[in-house]
Structure 1
Amino acid sequence: MSKSDRFFDQEHIWHPYASMTNPIPCYTVISAKGVYLKLKNGKNIIDGMSSWWSVIHGYNHPLLNKALKKQIKKMSHVMFGGITHPAAIALCRKLISLTPKKLDCVFLSDSGSVAIEIALKMSIQYWQSLGQKRKLFLTIRNGYHGDTFAAMSISDPKNSFHKIYHNLLPKNLFADAPVSSFHDHWNNSDIISFQKIIEKNSHKIAGVILEPIVQGVGGMNFYHPTYLKKIQNLCQYYSIPLIFDEIATGFGRTGKMFAFEYANVIPDILCLGKSITGGTITLAATLTSRKIADIISECETKCFMHGPTYMGNPLACAVANANIKILNTNQWKIQVSNIEKQLLKTLSPLINHPYVINVRILGAIGVIECSRLINMFLIQKFFVNNGVWIRPFKKLIYILPPYIISMNELNKLTNVILKAFDHNSLFL
């Protein structure tokens, strides 16, 4: 990056979760191919983050690029109000075929946070159509569902991302997060907090929302599948819609196409995003049951009151179709399984390091929970100097590599992480 560009970026461009007065330096990426990001200085670094969960097949994938080029020759965008098009129809067919039979109505949008907002609005409008003005949502602590207002209101109120807005957000209900981890024995006491809240407030709750199995940046916790089964049983007993946020975990990241498959449960509303297009362009989807869609459609307005401008964007739908076509070859199952085995082998020994509290691995997700805060500026520089892109937060170092990563490339990622723990200066 030239001095003038670097100055302009720091002075005028606001990056995610960053300060304008004291920004962490940014690295200029000029191109990307496979698992590599090419920096302005010519250095190639391995992307261990899949651009925040999304680039599952790597960068510049020829089939995804081909789908984009083919579609853009026809049209890049057209409004979805009163108009439909082949790419959207094909995508919705594919989404319905990938998900449980119960989920047969698809609402497309343009980002994960918006998909969550739509799910919450669906739940509220569902109850309004039934003559009940329910507005409370029940979830668990340590969750994260996005940065828009309703999404923040169902994310952990003590989460450092959102606590400054706490007094401005709608008040919702939070149960204790389950303690039984994915690989531990189930402890039935985990459900007590949730059960007490739903029993006391069932007549006021519009919906229950969870990140299935894997809680994202709220703490990167992996909880026991039995917890989801217990939650579904309670939601069915009290006839409360169950919403699953699979925006981060959907499309194979955990080793299943969708994380809820580990518990053999089915939500009433399902939110998808991030890797839906293979990380090429923004798109999201909210799927629901025919029952909920029909009840909403019979309300006073006779329609669902939401309509993003870029809803059903043809370019995004076309590349999402190509992405799902790649997934349908099932090569991802072998890739993710190999990543998981390698992460277990290379990262598990860190549990004995004095700075490490826990090491968690599931599918193509590896998490190291540290006992000390991480010096973001220094560790980011350390990772880039050693040829990898890993972006920790708070006390967590985690990687989400593209499924296509080779074992040699994955070894480089993990070896650099191991090397980081030899440097006390990288921790506060």
Structure 2
Amino acid sequence: MKKIDRRLRHLWRPYTQMHIEDPPLKAMATNGAEIILEDGSKLTDGIASWWTACHGYNHPKITEAIQKQLDIMPHVMFGGLTHEPALSLAKTLSNILPGAETEQALEHIFFCDSGSVAVEVALKMAVQFWYNKGQSERRKFICFRYAYHGDTMGAMSVCDPDEGMHSHFSGFFPEQIMVDLPRSSTAFCNFENLLNSRNKEIAGVILEPLVQGAGGMKFHDAEILSKIRNICSLQNILFIADEIATGFGRTGTMFACNQAAIAPDIICIGKAMTGGVISMAATAANKRVWKAFQTNKALDAFMHGPTYMANPLGCAAAQASISLFATGEWKNKVLALEKHFSSELKSCLKIPGIVDVRVKGAIGVVQVANGKNLPLLRKRFVEEGVWVRPFGDIVYLMPPFILNKQQMHHLTDSIIKVLEEWSKDY
């Protein structure tokens, strides 16, 4: 029997009932699209370390950028100081975010530590926007069923409490207005009526564009996104796009909002921003939002400042990661993943208990009728040499973009094989 590392008792692991679950696998190294374990075995990574490692692991350009910055200045506080990596990255982001070079440009960048913090910042920014404009009663947000925006308090308040793992905290965080995502003419009419009838109390609408992530990998099309954005504009309500999971190429365009040709008032980005190397995120706002904070009153300033805000190492990593998108090669890679997932995963529909297969960009999802025992399959996937983590009622793939054909087949063949085994006991 393998000896268990006694130091594990000091680790409080994420999303894990440690009293009953097996010890975690020990990763020793990463390379390309592989995770190398303590026993030397290799796992083809199907989820890019929670959707971050878009270029794969250990990319030399990102590593070199971090090392170079490490020798110059690893960190300095951002209050009262700035630095070249932050200035450079802010300009780069303003040039690539939705609405660039238009009146809707998201050219005012607030750097954050993580995606959850980026959402917290967006919510605070929206509330204070209205406060600074003399409308302090606007404090509620419209959010959607199956939404997931993070695990901090404000972010949890705009998540679906049932699908987003936060039901224990109901009644503790602020109560928001949760609705079903409108998908029909009647639903859109009701949605607009809601925004109109409660207009004076609503600070903003927050949505994950095209793909609702950890709430169940639910997809919607660009037309729905466009209509929601237009209704927000007509009702004079801020629209917040949470592109933490979808940003940086995951859905087939640099940002999901690009597919609807819209720009939000505020956008949250993170995860793949640094290529999965360092935790960093950002919240960006347009000119309209920015101007509400630029007054002669000290208290109109945005009072938020993470300790490691605009960390130079993170900025350097993000700048290097974004530069890798400039060649455009990523588009072909994402398209190849989309085609492969579409052609291979559809065979899962023949398996008893499978109710849906859906693909968007470099995202592949297989949904089952009853996901009660689905997380137990994680061990089987490891035995097959792949890192795939089912949750809820789905088995999904969001791998690094750099997978070769053999690795693509390894992932999809493993999913088909394991689900066929699972279906025998369904």
Q: Which residue of 1 aligns with 2:281?
A: 284
Task: Tell me, in whole angstroms, the C-alpha distance in 2 between the residues paired with 1:205 and 1:110.
Answer: 27
Q: CA deviation at 1:176?
A: 1.0
Q: In the TM superposition, what whole-angstrom CA distance separates every residue of 1:185-229 from its partner, at most 9, and x where no partner exists?
A: xx4234244223212111110111100010001110111211112
Choose which of 125, 130, 134 in structure 1 pairs with 2:133: 130
What is aligned with 1:3? 3
Give the whole-Å Cα distance in 2 for the aligned partners of 1:116 and 1:275.
16
Could you say which residue in structure 2 is the equivalent of 1:164? 168
Superimposed CA distance per residue, residues 6-56 of structure 1 (whole angstroms, 9 cap, x where no aligned partner): x431x2311111123223431110000000100000001100000011000
- The answer on 1:146 being equivalent to 2:150 is yes
Partner of 2:195: 198
Partner amino acid for 2:63?
A: N
Question: Distance in 1 between the 2:182 and 2:29 partners?
Answer: 42
The range that moved more, 193-202 or 386-395, is: 193-202
Q: Any gaps of 5 or more consecutive residues in structure 2? A: none
Structure 1 residue 4: Cα displacement: 4.4
Cα distance in 1 for partners of 2:386, 2:161 equals 33
Give 3-state SS (helix, strand or coil) of 1:197's partner.
helix
Matched with 2:257 is 260
Deviations 1:264-323 (A, max 9, x none): 111000100000000000000100012211212325514111000000000000010000
User: Aligned AA for 1:168?
Assistant: F
* Kept in 1: contact 2:351–2:423 (CA 8 A): no
Indicate the residue corresponding to 2:123 in structure 1.
Answer: 120
Aligned 8 A contact 2:250 2:363 in 1: yes
Map 1:35-74; keep pairs closer than 5 Å. 35-74=33-72
**Per-residue deviation, 1:238:** 1.5
Alpha-carbon distance in structure 1 between the residues aligned to 2:372 and 2:25: 19
The 1:125–1:160 alpha-carbon spacing in structure 2 relative to 1, beyond 3 Å, is closer
Aligned AA for 2:319?
N
Deviations 1:131-163 (A, max 9, x none): 111110012111000000000000112225001
Q: Distance in 2 between matches of 1:374 and 1:404?
A: 32
Q: Determine the C-alpha separation between the residues in 1 that align with 2:165 and 2:47.
A: 19
Does 1:111 pair with 2:109?
no
Find 2:15's aligned residue among 14, 17, 37.
Answer: 17
Aligned residues: 419
The 8 Å contact of residues 356 and 368 in structure 1, kept in 2 or not, is answered as yes
Q: Does 1:324 align with 2:307?
A: no
Q: Which runs of 5+ in 1 are unaligned?
A: 180-186
- State how far apart, in whole Å, the 1-side matches of 2:234 and 2:342 are: 39
For 1:427 and 1:25, locate their aligned partners in 2 and report how far apart those are by CA, in whole Å. Answer: 26
Q: Distance in 2 between matches of 1:422 and 1:341?
A: 22
Instruction: Quote the RMSD (CA, aligned, Å).
Output: 1.6
After superposition, the Cα gap between the structure-2 partners of 1:76 and 1:374, relative to the gap in structure 1 and judged at 3 Å, is farther
CA distance, structure 2, for counterparts of residue 385 and residue 36 of structure 1: 15
What is the distance in 1 between the residues matched to 2:114 and 2:53? 15
TM-score normalised over the length of structure 2: 0.95
Q: Is the 8 A contact 1:347 1:359 kept in 2?
A: yes
Structure 1 residues 64 and 353: CA distance shift in structure 2, 3 A: same
TM-score calculated relative to the size of structure 1: 0.95
Q: Distance in 2 between matches of 1:57 and 1:106?
A: 24
* d(CA) in 1 for partners of 2:32, 2:249: 18
